C-alpha cells in the first residue's frame, strides 16, 4: 500500500508540474509586456498640462516612478488565469531588482530603444536573478551552447532551461545544421542558403539544380520522360501525358468530353449539356436546370398551400363576420319589438 501511495503521489506531482506554466516562458512574456509598455508610454507625460514645469519639479517622465507604475500595472493583464497568477508571483519576486534596474541602468540611458531595454531586463530577471532561462544561444539545465543552425533552422530549447539542443529545420531544409535542401527542392543560392521548389513535373526523387521540367530526376504522376531525354547526372525532361488521347478515352459517360491539363485531365460536358448539381451524367441544359429547380418548386408548392390555408382562414373569419352581422340584425328586430310594446303600456297608464 505504501508503494502504491508513493506512485500515486508521484503521478499527481508530475501532472501538477506539467500543468503549471513554464516559468521561463512566463518571464519572457513579462519582459515582452514591459517592452510593449515602454512603447505605449513613450509619448505620455504627467498629465498636468505643463510638461516643462512638471519635469522641472518631478523629473523626467521617461524614467519616472509614475511611468514605471503605469507599466507594471498592465504587465500581467493579458495572461490567462494560471499564467496571470505565475506572472504576478514573478513580478512580486522581481520587485526590488526591477526597481533597481529602472532607477539605475535605465535612468542613465532612458533613450535606448524599447527592444534593447527589454533585452537587458530579460538578462537581469530571467537569466541572472531568477535562473529561469538561459541566454540566447544556450539551452538546457546547464545552459550549454547551441549549435549554429544557420538562417534555416533554430536550436531546440534556445534561451530556455529545456530542449535537446538539436537544430530544428525550417520547411524545405534538412541536415544536422539545416544546410541542405529537402528532396523536392533545389539549391538556388548558397550564400545565403536558399532552396526552392522543383517543377511540378518532377517526381519524388526531386530535381538537380533548377526549376525547369528538364531538371527532374524522375517524373511525377501525369508526366513521362521525353524521348531521348536523360543525362549523365541523372536528370530527365518530363512532359505532360495527354490522357485524353488514349483509346478508349478516360471520359466514357454520355455527352462527355475529355479536357487535358498539365499532369491531369477533367471530364466536362459537351456544349449544350450540363451536369446536375447532385452529380451524375451530363444532361441537356434545360433538363439539368429543371432537376436542380425541383426542390425549389416543391418549396413553392408548400408556400402556395400555406397561402391556401391562410385564404381558408380568411373565409372563416368572413363567415364569422356575417354571423355577427346576422346577430346584429336579430338584435335590431328585438329592439323594434320592444319599441312596439311601449305604446301599449302608455294606454294602460291612461
Same domain for 121 and 146, yes or no, is no
Q: Which residues contact 263 (CB under 8 A, 6 or more apart)?
A: 200, 201, 220, 221, 222, 223, 240, 241
Please state, in angstroms and rounded to a whole number, the distance separating the CA atoms of residues 27 and 21: 10
What is the per-residue pLDDT for 77? 86
Same domain for 30 and 127, yes or no, is yes
Q: How many domains does the chain have?
A: 4
What does DSSP say about strands 153-155 and 167-169: parallel, antiparallel, or unpaired? antiparallel
Please state, in angstroms and rounded to a whole number, the distance separating the CA atoms of residues 342 and 140: 117
Same domain for 27 and 119, yes or no, is yes
Same domain for 140 and 92, yes or no, is no
Handedness of CA 105, 106, 109, 114 (dihedral sign): positive
The residue from 167, 182, 197 where one domain ends is: 182
pLDDT bracket for residue 39 (50, 70, 90): very high
Enclosing domain of residue 155: 134-182
Please state, in angstroms and rounded to a whole number, the distance separating the CA atoms of residues 234 and 202: 13
Residue 331 domain flag: no
Q: What is the average pLDDT value for the chain, to the nearest integer?
A: 80
DSSP string, 58-121: H--GGG-HHHHHHHHTTTTTTS-HHHHHHHHHHHHHTHHHHHHHIIIIIHHSTTS-HHHHHHHH
Residue 105 domain flag: yes
What does the block give as the cell for 56? 522641472
What is the per-residue pLDDT for 232? 74
Task: Using the predicted structure, report yes or no on whether residue 333 has a pLDDT greater than 60.
Answer: no
Same domain for 198 and 214, yes or no, is yes
Task: Using the predicted structure, report yes or no on whether residue 31 has a pLDDT greater than 90.
Answer: yes
CATH code (residue 275): 2.10.25
- pLDDT one-digit tens code per residue, 109-125: 988 899 999 999 999 99
Task: Using the predicted structure, report yes or no on whether residue 241 has a pLDDT greater than 90.
Answer: yes
Same domain for 31 and 103, yes or no, is yes
Same domain for 40 and 110, yes or no, is yes
Residue 274 domain flag: yes
Residue 61 domain flag: yes
What is the per-residue pLDDT for 294? 53
> Are residues 149 and 155 in contact, defined by beta-carbon separation less than 8 angstroms?
yes
Residue 45 domain flag: yes
Task: Using the predicted structure, report yes or no on whether residue 227 has a pLDDT greater than 60.
Answer: yes
Same domain for 28 and 112, yes or no, is yes
What is the per-residue pLDDT for 348? 37
Residue 265 domain flag: yes
CA max distance for the chain: 145
Q: Which residues contact 243 (CB under 8 A, 6 or more apart)?
A: 222, 249, 250, 258, 260, 264, 265
More confident residue, 313 or 180: 180
What does DSSP say about strands 238-240 and 167-169: parallel, antiparallel, or unpaired? unpaired
Residues 53-62 as b/e (b if ≥16 CB within 10 A, e otherwise) read ebeeeeeebb
Same domain for 41 and 125, yes or no, is yes
Same domain for 271 and 201, yes or no, is no
- pLDDT one-digit tens code per residue, 273-313: 999 988 899 999 887 666 655 544 444 454 444 445 444 44
Handedness of CA 240, 244, 247, 252 (dihedral sign): positive
Same domain for 41 and 65, yes or no, is yes
What does the block give as the cell for 123? 538578462
pLDDT bracket for residue 341 (50, 70, 90): very low
Same domain for 35 and 87, yes or no, is yes
The residue from 258, 283, 308 where one domain ends is: 283
Please state, in angstroms and rounded to a whole number, the distance separating the CA atoms of residues 223 and 218: 9
> Are residues 225 and 236 in contact, defined by beta-carbon separation less than 8 angstroms?
yes
DSSP string, 265-313: EEEEEPTTEE--TT--S-EEHHHHHHHHHHHHHHHHHHHHHHHHHHHHH
The pTM is what? 0.58
Identify the top-confidence range among 6-10, 124-128, 306-310.
124-128
Q: Which burial class, exposed, middle or buried, applies to 226 when counting CB atoms under 10 A from its CB (0-12, 13-18, 19+)?
A: middle
Residue 9 domain flag: no
Residue 191 domain flag: yes
Amino acid at each position: 500500500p505504501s508503494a502504491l501511495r508513493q506512485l500515486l503521489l508521484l503521478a499527481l506531482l508530475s501532472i501538477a508540474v506539467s500543468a503549471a506554466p513554464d516559468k521561463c516562458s512566463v518571464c519572457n512574456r513579462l519582459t515582452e509586456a514591459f517592452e510593449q509598455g515602454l512603447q505605449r508610454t513613450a509619448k505620455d507625460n504627467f498629465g498636468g498640462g505643463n510638461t516643462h514645469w512638471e519635469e522641472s519639479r518631478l523629473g523626467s517622465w521617461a524614467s519616472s516612478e509614475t511611468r514605471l507604475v503605469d507599466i507594471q500595472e498592465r504587465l500581467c493583464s493579458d495572461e490567462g488565469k494560471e499564467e496571470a497568477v505565475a506572472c504576478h508571483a514573478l513580478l512580486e519576486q522581481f520587485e526590488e531588482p526591477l526597481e533597481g534596474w529602472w532607477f539605475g541602468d535605465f535612468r542613465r540611458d532612458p533613450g535606448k530603444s524599447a527592444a534593447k531595454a527589454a533585452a537587458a531586463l530579460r538578462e537581469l530577471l530571467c537569466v541572472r536573478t531568477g535562473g529561469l532561462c538561459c541566454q540566447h544561444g544556450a539551452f538546457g539545465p546547464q545552459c550549454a551552447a547551441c549549435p549554429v543552425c544557420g538562417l534555416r533552422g533554430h536550436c531546440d530549447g534556445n534561451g530556455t532551461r529545456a530542449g535537446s539542443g538539436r537544430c530544428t529545420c525550417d520547411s524545405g531544409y534538412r541536415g544536422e545544421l539545416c544546410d541542405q535542401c529537402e528532396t523536392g527542392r533545389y539549391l538556388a543560392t548558397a550564400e545565403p542558403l536558399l532552396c526552392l521548389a522543383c517543377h511540378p513535373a518532377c517526381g519524388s526523387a526531386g530535381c538537380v539544380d533548377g526549376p525547369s521540367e528538364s531538371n527532374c530526376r524522375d517524373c511525377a504522376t501525369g508526366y513521362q520522360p521525353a524521348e531521348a531525354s536523360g543525362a549523365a547526372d541523372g536528370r530527365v525532361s518530363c512532359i505532360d501525358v495527354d490522357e485524353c488521347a488514349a483509346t478508349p478515352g478516360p471520359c466514357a459517360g454520355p455527352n462527355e468530353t475529355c479536357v487535358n491539363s498539365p499532369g491531369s485531365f477533367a471530364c466536362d460536358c459537351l456544349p449544350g449539356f450540363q451536369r446536375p448539381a447532385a452529380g451524375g451524367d451530363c444532361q441537356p441544359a434545360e433538363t439539368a436546370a429543371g432537376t436542380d429547380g425541383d426542390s425549389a418548386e416543391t418549396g413553392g408548392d408548400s408556400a402556395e398551400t400555406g397561402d391556401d390555408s391562410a385564404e381558408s382562414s380568411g373565409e372563416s373569419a368572413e363567415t364569422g363576420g356575417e354571423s355577427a352581422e346576422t346577430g346584429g340584425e336579430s338584435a335590431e328586430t328585438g329592439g323594434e319589438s320592444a319599441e312596439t310594446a311601449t305604446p301599449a303600456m302608455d294606454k294602460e297608464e291612461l
